[in-house]
């Protein structure tokens, strides 16, 4: 527990949730010798009863936890495997009592990169104990004041301890992972709220967690004509006008816990109509009876309603050595389960800055990194929020929304997953080049076109499946675009060829754009300058990035894809000639009397 004799720390982390615990563990594993303290008022038992969004992980967060935090075996042993994302639209809004009443997109196979449905309370309380065992000090109390001076002067946090004492702790680096307390946000006027700062996003959330679910009420077995993997253990998304719901299994066995929640948009649904469990259950019965039937008679663990969960910040990594991450920085929507992935980017960025300072890098070098990391993480956060622009218009339209999901999958698997796994986001030059290729304005135009379709100003779109390889062209399937570097475990920093992935993503996006225009607006779209302008521009950027692929090949020419395997291969070449028989393993037999007499 708290070392009251020590009030100065190399790193002071405020908040014992996912972001704070991950930052502590990542620092412990990468910067030996740091004195780290974590401020958290809750008990371990209270942490285990956490009430927040975020049980589903996707590829970046799952790999961060498994590889960077060393939790792969822990996750297998304590949390649920996740079989991708599934999407469901009612065929008839008046009939929704079974999953067969929905037009569904299922993952066709187990994902190449594994991910998890986590019990956040268990995960965070377990991480707390791991960090305490490894030497992190726990300051159990509540921050009541902060002093964040300019320059390299010590930052400080004044804490009301649970013992009743008030103590001021100073530090070289202060990490704000305290979520919606917005500590650095308030201290530095750093937060932005409201639709005008969030690309028009005006949403809310409500959810319930239950136990004792009978999964066979949802689906019994699999649909072999559509998938060869579990359908229950996906993160299932259900759509309707101005809303979507998640269904996430968070435990198996005796408890069979399930999280069911809704993200809704105030333009369509008012917060006061979903602010109690009874109203939430009535909403399910009226709009998604299959979910109501699944959880109605189960034991409720908790119900939570957030009327306005979304926000954004102006700065994440200050030159004054304070950092904001997780909900303390931004939150958009839970749709793609990106919250924990945004934390992965932030945690590794902060660790690199602290590691660079401890290694004696110059102030100029560190500032170059800090500025690049701050801009990248802020851009990433804005990109995450922008993904939900006009959702209230599109969610209930299966044609429009499935084409939108397909497009957004292309960038996730083709650009952002390899950018993370190759650690390119820690390279300032790559960051600057990437931000110069920002496509947010292009996405805004696409969303505007989709608005026209929803308004009836175009053709109805057919369902488009991001998991199939027969939907676009050339056998392309967005989640499978990572196989070329996963198969060789190209995990050394900057070893995998991210330029190939990004170049291919731009090229395939050009194909998607042309097919979307023709499908949505007919052949007349081919006579519009705008259609060809974007098509040529996307192909041009693809060709430009392709040059980076050539430079990447030159940089790694003659070097193995994987140093560890190359070393093993040479060891085998140098091994002595294999014996023709195994070594003896039975004890030698003493001669029997008959044998001796003979």
Convert the pLDDT of each residue in 143-165 to its tens digit.
999 999 999 899 999 999 999 99
With a pLDDT cut of 90, the percent of the chain lying above it is: 87
Question: The CATH number of the domain where 252 resides is what?
Answer: 3.30.9.100
In the block, tokens 């430009």 appear at: 544
Are 383 and 515 members of one domain? no
Q: What is the pLDDT of residue 484?
A: 72
What share of the chain in percent tops pLDDT 70? Answer: 97
Q: Dig out the tokens for 341 from the structure.
A: 């992935």
Q: Which residues pair with 246 in a beta bridge?
A: 237, 261
3-class DSSP assignment, residue 205: strand
- The whole-angstrom separation of Cα 581 and Cα 572 is 19
Look at residues 369, 408, 416 and name the one whose alpha carbon lies nearest to residue 387.
408
Residues 359 and 448 placed together within one structural domain of the fold: no
DSSP character for 424?
A: G
Q: Which neighbouring-strand residues pair with 105?
A: 87
Q: Which two tokens stand for residue 316?
A: 């994440």
Domain-ending residue, one of 293, 309, 325: 309
Q: Which residues of 65-102 are buried (b: 16+ CB within 10 A; e: fewer)?
A: bbebbebeebbeeebbbbbbbbbbbbeeeeebeebebb
Cβ neighbors of 297 (< 8 A, separation 6 or more) are none
Q: What is the pLDDT of residue 594?
A: 67
Nearest to 100 by CA among 91, 108, 109: 91
The tokens describing 380, both together, are 């990433």
Query: Using 50, 70 and 90 to split pLDDT, how confident is the model at 502?
Result: very high
Judge whether 129 lies within some domain: yes
Q: Which two tokens stand for residue 413?
A: 């698997």
Give the range among 68-77, 448-457, 493-502, 586-595 with minimum mean pLDDT: 586-595
Q: What is the pTM of this model?
A: 0.94
User: Does residue 461 share a domain with residue 546?
Assistant: yes
Domain assignment of residue 369, yes or no: yes
Residue 598 pLDDT: 54
Residues 123, 1, single domain; the answer is yes
Residue ranges of E strands in 365-513: none
> Do 55 and 79 form a contact (C-beta atoms < 8 A)?
no
What does the mean pLDDT of the chain come to? 94
Q: What is the pLDDT of residues 24-43, one digit of tens each?
A: 999 999 999 999 999 999 99
Q: What is the CATH number of the domain that holds 317?
A: 3.50.50.60
**CA nearest to 155, candidates 170, 175, 176:** 170
- SS3 for 48? coil
Q: How confident is the model at residue 220 (pLDDT cuts 50, 70, 90)?
A: confident
Average pLDDT over residues 484-510: 89
Query: How far apart, in whole angstroms, are the C-alpha atoms of residue 595 and residue 598?
Result: 5
6 with 94, same domain: the answer is: no
pLDDT value at 230 more than 70: yes
181: alpha, beta or left? (left if phi > 0; alpha if psi -120 to 50) = alpha
Is 224 a residue whose pLDDT tops 90? no
Q: Are residues 96 and 159 in the same domain?
A: no
Residue (of 33, 43, 39) closest to 2 by Cα position: 39
Task: Give, in degrees to the nearest 5, the angle at Cα 421 between 415 and 422.
Answer: 85
Exposed, middle or buried, 493 (CB in 10 Å: 0-12/13-18/19+)?
A: exposed
With cut-offs at 50, 70 and 90, classify the pLDDT of residue 596.
low
Structure tokens at 490: 């190209």
Strand partners, 176: 14, 324
pLDDT digits (tens, 9 = 90+) for 396-424: 999 999 999 999 999 999 999 999 999 99
Q: 482 pLDDT exceeds 70?
A: no
Assigned token pair, 286: 């009226």
Residue 537 domain-assigned (yes or no): yes
- Asked if the model's pLDDT at residue 221 lies above 90, the reply is no
Over residues 220-235, mean pLDDT: 87
Start-to-end Cα distance in the chain: 78
226 and 159 share a domain? no
Domain boundary among 253, 275, 309: 309
Mean pLDDT of 215-240: 90
The tens digit of pLDDT for each residue in 1-28 reads 555 567 999 999 999 999 999 999 999 9
* Structure letter (DSSP) for residue 255: T
Last residue of a domain, one of 391, 409, 433: 391
Q: What is the pLDDT of residue 491?
A: 81
Domain, as residue range, for 293:
81-117+202-309
User: Which string of DSSP letters, residue by residue, matches 61-126?
Assistant: HHHIIIIISS-HHHHHHHSEEE--EEEEEESBTTB-SSGGGEEEE--SS--SS-EEE--HHHHHHH
- Are 381 and 402 contained in the same domain? no
Same domain? 234 vs 295? yes
- Mean pLDDT, rounded, for 365-386: 96
Residue 249: which residues within 8 A CB-CB, separation 6 or more? 80, 117, 213, 215, 232, 233, 256, 257, 258
One domain for residues 232 and 248: yes
Backbone φ, ψ for residue 590 (5° rounding):
-75, 145
- Sequence-ordered list of residues with C-beta below 8 angstroms from that of 224, at least 6 positions apart, any chain: none
pLDDT band at 595 (very low <50, low <70, confident <90, very high): low
Among 99, 94, 90, 85, residue whose Cα is nearest residue 290: 99
Structural domain contains residue 586 = no
Question: How far apart (Å, rounded) are the C-alpha atoms in residues 199 and 369?
Answer: 28
Do the domain assignments include residue 273? yes
Q: How far is the CA of 490 from the CAs of 388, 422, 494, 501, in angstroms?
A: 32, 8, 9, 13
Q: How do strand 155-161 and strand 312-313 relate by DSSP bridges?
A: unpaired
- Inside any domain, residue 71: yes
* Structural domains in the chain (count): 3
The closest alpha carbon to 370, from 318, 419, 430, belongs to 318
pLDDT reading at 597 higher than 90: no
pLDDT digits (tens, 9 = 90+) for 186-197: 999 999 999 999
Indicate whether 107 pLDDT > 80.
yes
CB 262 within 8 A of CB 207: yes
C-beta neighbour count of 219 within 10 angstroms: 17
Q: Which H/E stretch holds residue 596?
A: helix 593-597
- The mean pLDDT value for 121-147 works out to 97
Residues 6 or more apart whose CB falls under 8 angstroms from that of 234 comprise 82, 83, 84, 85, 86, 106, 107
- 511-533 pLDDT, tens digit each: 999 999 999 999 999 999 999 99
Task: Looking at the structure, tell me whether residues 94 and 60 fall in a common domain.
Answer: no
Q: What is the mean pLDDT of residues 158-180?
A: 96
Question: Looking up tokens 């931004």, which residue turns up?
Answer: 330
Q: Are the CB atoms for 292 and 322 separated by under 8 Å?
A: no
pLDDT at 112: 86
Residue 33 and residue 148 in one domain: yes
Helical ranges in 480-592 per DSSP H:
483-486, 498-521, 529-555, 563-573
CA-to-CA dists, residue 331 to 290, 336, 337, 382, angstroms: 29, 12, 11, 9
Burial of residue 110, with CB atoms counted within 10 A of its CB: 0-12 exposed, 13-18 middle, 19 or more buried:
middle
What are the structure tokens assigned to 326, written together?
Answer: 């997780």
Q: Kindly state whether residue 376 falls inside one of the protein's structural domains.
A: yes
- Could you tell me the two tokens for 169? 């702790």
Residue 442, in any domain of the structure: yes
pLDDT at 435: 84
The confidence band for 49, taking pLDDT boundaries of 50, 70 and 90, is: confident
């Amino acid at each position: 527990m708290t070392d009251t004799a020590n009030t100065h720390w190399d790193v002071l982390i405020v908040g014992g949730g996912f972001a704070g615990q991950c930052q502590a563990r990542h620092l412990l594993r990468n910067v030996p010798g740091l004195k780290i303290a974590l401020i958290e008022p809750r008990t371990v038992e209270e942490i285990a009863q956490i009430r927040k969004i975020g049980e589903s992980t996707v590829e970046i967060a799952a790999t961060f936890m498994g590889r960077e935090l060393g939790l792969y075996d822990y996750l297998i042993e304590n949390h649920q495997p996740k079989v991708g994302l599934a999407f469901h639209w009612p065929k008839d809004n008046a009939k929704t009592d079974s999953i067969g009443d929905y037009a569904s997109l299922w993952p066709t196979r187990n994902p190449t990169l594994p991910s998890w449905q986590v019990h956040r309370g268990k995960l965070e309380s377990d991480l707390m104990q791991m960090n305490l065992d490894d030497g992190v000090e726990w300051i159990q109390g509540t921050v009541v004041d902060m002093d964040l001076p300019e320059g390299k002067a010590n930052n400080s946090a004044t804490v009301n301890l649970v013992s009743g004492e008030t103590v001021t702790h100073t530090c070289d680096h202060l990490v704000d992972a305290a979520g919606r307390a917005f500590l650095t946000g308030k201290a530095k006027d750093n937060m932005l709220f409201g639709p005008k700062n969030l690309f028009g996003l005006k949403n809310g959330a409500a959810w319930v967690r239950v136990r004792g679910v009978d999964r066979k009420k949802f689906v019994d077995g699999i649909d072999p004509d559509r998938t060869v993997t579990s359908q229950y253990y996906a993160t299932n998304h259900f759509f309707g006008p101005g809303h979507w719901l998640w269904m996430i299994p968070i435990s198996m066995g005796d408890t069979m816990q399930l999280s069911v929640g809704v993200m809704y948009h105030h333009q369509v649904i008012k917060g006061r109509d979903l602010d109690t469990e009874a109203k939430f259950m009535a909403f399910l019965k009226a709009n998604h009876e299959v979910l109501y039937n699944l959880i109605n008679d189960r034991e409720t663990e908790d119900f939570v309603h957030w009327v306005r969960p979304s926000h954004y910040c102006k700065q994440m990594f200050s030159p004054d050595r304070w950092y904001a991450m997780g909900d303390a920085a931004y939150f958009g929507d839970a749709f793609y389960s990106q919250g924990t992935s945004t934390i992965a980017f932030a945690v590794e960025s902060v660790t690199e800055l602290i590691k660079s300072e401890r290694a004696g890098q110059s102030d100029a070098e560190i500032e170059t990194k800090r500025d690049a990391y701050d801009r990248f993480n802020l851009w990433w956060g804005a990109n995450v929020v922008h993904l939900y622009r006009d959702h209230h218009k599109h969610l209930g339209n299966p044609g429009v929304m499935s084409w939108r999901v397909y497009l957004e999958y292309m960038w996730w698997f083709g650009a952002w997953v390899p950018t993370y796994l190759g650690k390119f986001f820690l390279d300032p030059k790559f960051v600057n080049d990437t931000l110069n290729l920002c496509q947010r304005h292009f996405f805004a135009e696409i969303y505007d076109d989709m608005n026209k379709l929803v308004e009836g100003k175009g053709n109805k779109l057919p369902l488009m499946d991001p998991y199939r390889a027969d939907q676009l062209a050339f056998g392309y399937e967005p989640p499978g675009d990572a196989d070329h570097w996963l198969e060789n475990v190209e995990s050394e920093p900057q070893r995998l060829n991210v330029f190939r992935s990004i170049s291919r993503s731009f090229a395939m996006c050009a194909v998607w754009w042309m097919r979307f225009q023709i499908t949505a607006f007919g052949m007349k779209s081919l006579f519009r300058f705008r259609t060809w302008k974007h098509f040529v521009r996307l192909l041009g950027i693809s060709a430009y990035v392709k040059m980076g692929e050539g430079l990447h090949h030159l940089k790694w020419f003659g070097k193995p894809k994987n140093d560890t395997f190359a070393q093993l291969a040479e060891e085998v070449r140098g091994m002595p000639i294999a014996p023709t028989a195994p070594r003896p393993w039975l004890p030698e037999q003493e001669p029997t009397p008959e044998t001796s007499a003979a």
